[in-house]
Amino acid sequence: MSRAGRDGGVPAPLLVPALAAVAFLVLPLVGLVVRAPWSEIGPQLTRPGVGEALRLSLLSATLATAVSLLLGVPLAWVLARSAVRGRSLLRALVTVPLVLPPVVGGVALFLVLGRQGIVGRWLFEATGFALPFTTAAVVVAETFVAMPFLVISVEGALRAADARFEDAAATLGADRWTTFRRVTLPLVAPGIAAGAVLCWARALGEFGATITFAGNFPGTTQTMPLAVYLALQRDPDAAIVLSLVLLVVSLATLLLLRGRWLGRGVTSG
Amino acid sequence: MSLRAHVVVRRGSLTLDVEVAVGDGEVLAVLGPNGAGKSTLLRVLAGLLLPDGGQVLVDGHRVWDAAGRHVPAHRRSLGMVFQDHLLFPHLSITDNVAFGLRSRGAKRAAARAAAAPWLDRVGLAGLGDRRPGELSGGQAQRAALARALVGDPRVLLLDEPLSALDARTRLTVRAELRRHLTDYAGSAVLVTHDPVDAMALADRVVVVEDGRVVQTGTPAEIARRPRTDYVARLVGLVLLPGTGTGAQVALDGGGAVAVAEEVAGPVFVAVRPESVALYLARPAGSPRNVWPLRLVAATPHGSVVRCDLAGEVPLTADVTATSFAELGLAPGADVWASVKAGEVAVYTR
On whether residue A23 sits in a domain, the answer given is no
Instruction: For residue A187, give the chain B residue with the closest CA.
Output: B90
Structural domains of chain B sorted by starting position, each given as residue range(s) with its CATH number in brackets = 3-233 (3.40.50.300), 237-348 (2.40.50.100)
**B118 and chain A in contact, CB less than 8 A:** no
Smallest Cβ distance to A173: which of B74, B86, B91?
A: B74
pLDDT single digits (tens) A51-61: 889 899 999 99
**B259 and chain A in contact, CB less than 8 A:** no
- Report the distance separating Cα A86 and Cα A254, nearest Å: 35
Please check whether residue A140 is in contact with residue A166, taking contact to mean a CB–CB distance below 8 angstroms: no
Sign of the Cα torsion B40, B45, B49, B55 reads positive
On whether residue A17 sits in a domain, the answer given is no
Best to test chain A binding among B83, B103, B104, B145 (most A CBs inside 10 Å): B103
On whether residue A216 sits in a domain, the answer given is yes
Please check whether residue B110 is in contact with residue B86, taking contact to mean a CB–CB distance below 8 angstroms: no
- Report the distance separating Cα B180 and Cα B174, nearest Å: 10
Residues in chain A closer than 8 A to B97 (CB atoms): none
Residue B133 pLDDT exceeds 70: yes
On whether residue A10 sits in a domain, the answer given is no
- Report the distance separating Cα B192 and Cα B208, nearest Å: 10
Whole-angstrom CA distances from B196 to A173, B167, B175, B246 are 32, 12, 12, 35
Mean pLDDT of A5-27: 89
Backbone angles phi, psi at B301, to 5 degrees: -135, 90
Question: pLDDT value at position B218?
Answer: 94
Q: Which domain holds residue A218?
A: 50-268
- Report the distance separating Cα B270 and Cα B113, nearest Å: 54
Residues in chain B closer than 8 A to A186 (CB atoms): 88, 90-91
- Report the distance separating Cα A231 and Cα A235, nearest Å: 5
Instruction: Characterize the bridge pairing of strands B345-348 and B315-320.
Output: unpaired
Smallest Cβ distance to B82: which of A168, A178, A186?
A: A168
**B155 and chain A in contact, CB less than 8 A:** no
Question: pLDDT value at position B145?
Answer: 95
Domain with A98 in it: what CATH number?
Answer: 1.10.3720.10
The residues near A56 (Cβ < 8 Å, ≥ 6 apart) are A135, A138, A219, A220, A221, A222, A223, A224
The tally of domains found in chain A comes to 1
On whether residue A6 sits in a domain, the answer given is no
On whether residue A14 sits in a domain, the answer given is no
pLDDT single digits (tens) A98-156: 889 999 999 999 999 998 889 999 989 998 888 999 999 999 999 999 999 999 999 99
Where helices occur in B108-188 by DSSP H, the ranges are: 108-121, 137-149, 167-183
On whether residue A260 sits in a domain, the answer given is yes
Residues in chain B closer than 8 A to A175 (CB atoms): 72, 74, 103
- Full-model pTM: 0.82
Burial of B217 (0-12, 13-18, 19+ CB in 10 A): middle
Best to test chain A binding among B74, B97, B160 (most A CBs inside 10 Å): B74
On whether residue A98 sits in a domain, the answer given is yes
Question: pLDDT value at position A259?
Answer: 65
Residue B114 pLDDT exceeds 80: yes
